[in-house]
Chain A
Amino acid sequence: MINPRTQELKNSRAESWEPKIAAFLCNWCSYAGADLAGTSRREYPPNIRIIRLPCSGRVNPLFVLKCLMDGADGVLIAGCHTGDCHYSEGNYYARRRFAILKKLFEFLGIDPRRFQMAWVSASEGDKWVKVVKELVEEIKKAGPILAKS
């Protein structure tokens, strides 16, 4: 079965293309920060699809690869600020994994703009909006992922 996303992309391509971005958010800080952006009615582009996880340390590099393989144009990992992790040190693990994975992506020729990480706390609704806006801009510049492969 052809992935509906791939189909969609084939149909649309270039002119009406809008990036689709997968975002892994930790439950305690970033997901709550995104909630706060909602309760404060801060508008941001609709390109992001949020997957809630307990901790940024739960993000398996395989998830990121799978997102890009399945047609997401970009992937974001967002977690608590360093030192503020609900589970003490999950975000430190996430940060190290991110650094290595980013290197791997560079080696593989994947545009590094496609994979980003951000620290968004539960009280940073505004920061979440800023992160999403900037990310969408960057990914727009990077273009559709399948079009290049």
Chain B
Amino acid sequence: MKIGVFICHCGTNISATVDVEKVAQVTSKLAKVHFSTTYLYMCSNPGQELIKKAIKEKGLDRIVVCSCSPSLHEKTFRKCAEEAGINPYLVEIANIREHCSWVHRDKKEATLKAIDIVRLAVAKVSRDKPLVKTYVPIEKRVLIIGGGISGIQSAIDIAFAKYPVTIVERESSIGGRMARFDKTFPTLDCAACILTPKMVTVSQSQYVTIYTCSEIEEVSGHVGDFKVKIRKRARSVDINKCTGCGACYAKCPVKVSAKFDMNLGLRKAIYVPFPQAVPNVPVIDRQNCLWFSAKNASGGTKKACGLCKKICNFGAIDYDMQDEIIEEKFGAIIVATGFTQFDHSVYGEYGYGKYKDVVTGLHFERMASSSGPTGGKIIRPSDGKEARDVVFIQCVGSRDEQKGVPYCSRICCMYTAKHALLLKEHNKDAQAYVFYIDIRAAGKNYEEFVKKVQDEYGAIYLRGRVSRIFEKGGKIIVRGADTLSGAQIEIKADLVVLATGLIARPETVKLAQMLHIPYDQNRLFTEAHPKLAPVETVTSGIFLTGACQSPKDIPDSVATASAASVKALGLLLQDKLEKEPLIAKVDRNLCSGCRACVVACPFNAIDMKEIEDRALKCKRDVAEVVEGVCTGCGNCTVVCRMSAIDIEGFSNRQIMEEIEAL
């Protein structure tokens, strides 16, 4: 056995705190190590050439690369070794950057630790076995969770490449948050005008299936072969029969406040959330529908309504519709679940959410919309009068570690500027006051837009926080400080608009656990690498787009959506999928057939198989690993009394060898 040790300086990232020459010198004396050298950037082309040359010239048969985390360059060096003619699984990475040089200051200590880390890796590599990659077939379909602008864009891109794609949307129409916006910054395009054509495109594509009123129930399997259970909630209206004529909701006698319009307007118990809804098919809100409340009332004495069913010429209303569970297979999953608004009722200074005339940006958005509940008038929700003096407060929930979230929500500065502009456009006499901490307008034409709002639309920007909001004489009094002039300010406002931050949806944790993807302390999904893999997750075959990963504006959401669909398409374009061979393997001679591993396996990846035992001259059952299903977690190895089952690449012998080298 001839082991080669290659130590990377990583510029000065490693060599500044680790004496790499000393590491090379000490490790070259380790048993079985035949050759040891250092290089400035081992992952660079010349670095890889150096490794290949050494493998060939020195006759090395396995290598240890001492560099950054294996999550970054393990693949690079495996490929490099393969090109030099040795099995790619005879390569180990000693992580002396993230786990050593970057976390220690003392050069002596760090060098000693680095030597130890390399010794462990050498011990492990000495027990490595050559492995062969396996291949699994791919289900050539993509699942998109969430039908907002991100999900829609992803679906369009995938359908354009002629691959089938399914959108699962919780609400009764796709469109998401963007469908509720009036205009978009900084170009002031009408949101509906640019979104609805896309909604129509997806709905008309033969490659796109849309499940609305639907949620993900269960996910199992792995990349190339995800098995997904989708719960399609009872819509009570048959999508195939309905023509969207609207007779039912014209006739419906029940009026309730519309969630889509931030409860500023009313809708019927059978309704489409907004006129451009896709599919343009109503849904019955069973909580408020008279037919259902009569049916659920004791004894059924109340007369059921049933008007919508009577009026419908197409027999589309189906009161008996039940939830449906659909089971489908997908090769890749794109998560586009978006965000929700921060709940400002935790802030006492803003009135704990009890003043009607203190609203959020999304309320303002609905009021500004000409198809919205106020017909495009900016009003005071308390008395319906047109608002003249409007105070906007930024960073509500954002950048507040105590009560909110520590991060900046990125879009609030811009949407507030847009609101200030829209206010003036809707009412020439109106005056906007904006309380801000910092203005963050990093984006193409963003800064110019804010400047325009200040200069041309006369919005008054006040740097400071609001200390109190209270009602007095029918006005909302906003008391705050202007830190630039040092003055106390009191504004008698008609309306206060809070720029509430973007936060993760409450159900993200449940979804993350179903998909086995990580999330951070703010419950936003975590990307595989913040810079180099921003739309991937560590679970292969699952991609992220839009605000479920971090707050994003529309251009960024669309960009990540296209990026995620390219990544998904890249997978689907493979004939078959390469699978890491780091999975469980059974030694039949040792297996006693006790089935402990079968029970312990979280993936049902172990079956029992009858074999002919020639030595014992009998038939007996042994465990057999289903290669396509095994994920290589190694739980089975611990329960095996005979040590008959082991994980390739993380075998008992390898780990024991590492421990001995401690």
Q: Which of A42, A49, A63, A84 contacts B655 (CB 8 A)?
A: A63
A85 to B631, CA, bound (A): 13
Instruction: For chain A, residues 35 to 58, give those with C-beta under 8 angstroms from any C-beta of chain B.
Output: 35, 37-39, 41-44, 46, 49-55, 57-58
User: Separation in Å of the A72 CB from the closest CB of chain B?
Assistant: 6
Question: Which of the four size classes fits the interface of chain A?
Answer: 35 or more
Q: Which of B70, B518, B638, B652 contacts A121 (CB 8 A)?
A: B518
> When the two chains form their complex, are residues B516 and A88 in contact, meaning their CB atoms are under 8 A apart?
yes
> When the two chains form their complex, are residues B647 and A123 in contact, meaning their CB atoms are under 8 A apart?
no
| B56 interfacial by beta-carbon distance below 8 Å | no
| B635 interfacial by beta-carbon distance below 8 Å | yes
> When the two chains form their complex, are residues A22 and B516 in contact, meaning their CB atoms are under 8 A apart?
no
Q: Which of B509, B600, B634 contacts A53 (CB 8 A)?
A: B634
> A89 to chain B: which residues have CB within 8 Å?
602, 635
> When the two chains form their complex, are residues A87 and B70 in contact, meaning their CB atoms are under 8 A apart?
no
User: Separation in Å of the B359 CB from the closest CB of chain A?
Assistant: 33
> When the two chains form their complex, are residues B521 and A43 in contact, meaning their CB atoms are under 8 A apart?
no
> When the two chains form their complex, are residues A123 and B120 in contact, meaning their CB atoms are under 8 A apart?
no
> When the two chains form their complex, are residues B103 and A3 in contact, meaning their CB atoms are under 8 A apart?
no
> When the two chains form their complex, are residues B513 and A53 in contact, meaning their CB atoms are under 8 A apart?
no
> When the two chains form their complex, are residues A87 and B516 in contact, meaning their CB atoms are under 8 A apart?
yes
| B660 interfacial by beta-carbon distance below 8 Å | yes
> When the two chains form their complex, are residues B103 and A53 in contact, meaning their CB atoms are under 8 A apart?
no
> B95 to chain A: which residues have CB within 8 Å?
35, 50
| A76 interfacial by beta-carbon distance below 8 Å | no
> When the two chains form their complex, are residues B102 and A122 in contact, meaning their CB atoms are under 8 A apart?
no
User: Interface stretch among A26-34, A102-110, A111-119?
Assistant: A26-34
A55 to B99, CA, bound (A): 18
Q: Which of A35, A84, A87 contacts B99 (CB 8 A)?
A: A35
> When the two chains form their complex, are residues B638 and A60 in contact, meaning their CB atoms are under 8 A apart?
yes
| A148 interfacial by beta-carbon distance below 8 Å | no
User: Interface stretch among B106-114, B154-162, B316-324?
Assistant: B106-114
> When the two chains form their complex, are residues A54 and B650 in contact, meaning their CB atoms are under 8 A apart?
yes
| B97 interfacial by beta-carbon distance below 8 Å | yes
> B103 to chain A: which residues have CB within 8 Å?
37-38, 41-44, 46, 129
> When the two chains form their complex, are residues B512 and A60 in contact, meaning their CB atoms are under 8 A apart?
no
Q: Which of B105, B633, B647, B662 contacts A49 (CB 8 A)?
A: B662
1/0 contact string of B110-130 vs chain A (CB within 8 Å): 101100110010000000000
User: Separation in Å of the A125 CB from the closest CB of chain B?
Assistant: 10
1/0 contact string of A5-42 vs chain B (CB within 8 Å): 10000000000000010100000110110110111011
The verdict on A51 contacting B633 (CB below 8 Å), with A44-B103, A83-B513, A86-B516 known, is no
> A63 to chain B: which residues have CB within 8 Å?
655-656, 659
> A60 to chain B: which residues have CB within 8 Å?
637-638, 652, 655
Q: Which of B113, B509, B539, B655 contacts A86 (CB 8 A)?
A: B539
| A90 interfacial by beta-carbon distance below 8 Å | yes
> B600 to chain A: which residues have CB within 8 Å?
93
The verdict on A53 contacting B97 (CB below 8 Å), with A37-B103, A83-B513, A84-B512 known, is no
| B225 interfacial by beta-carbon distance below 8 Å | no
> When the two chains form their complex, are residues A53 and B655 in contact, meaning their CB atoms are under 8 A apart?
yes
> When the two chains form their complex, are residues A71 and B526 in contact, meaning their CB atoms are under 8 A apart?
no
A-B contact pairs, 23 of them (CB 8 A): A3-B660, A5-B662, A28-B518, A31-B69, A32-B518, A35-B69, A37-B98, A38-B99, A46-B112, A49-B120, A53-B650, A58-B635, A63-B655, A66-B660, A84-B519, A86-B538, A87-B603, A87-B631, A87-B633, A93-B638, A122-B526, A123-B518, A123-B520
Chain A residues at the B interface, C-beta cutoff of 8 Å: 3, 5, 20, 22, 28-29, 31-32, 34-35, 37-39, 41-44, 46, 49-55, 57-61, 63, 66-67, 70-72, 80, 83-90, 93, 97, 121-124, 129
Given A46-B106, A60-B655: 11 more A-B contacts, CB < 8 Å: A3-B660, A38-B97, A38-B98, A57-B635, A58-B633, A72-B662, A84-B513, A86-B516, A90-B633, A93-B638, A123-B520
Chain B residues at the A interface, C-beta cutoff of 8 Å: 69-71, 95, 97-100, 102-106, 109-110, 112-113, 116-117, 120, 509, 512-513, 516, 518-521, 526, 538-539, 582, 600, 602-603, 631-635, 637-638, 647, 650, 652, 655-656, 658-660, 662
| 3 shortest interchain CB distances as A-B pairs | A38-B98, A58-B634, A87-B633
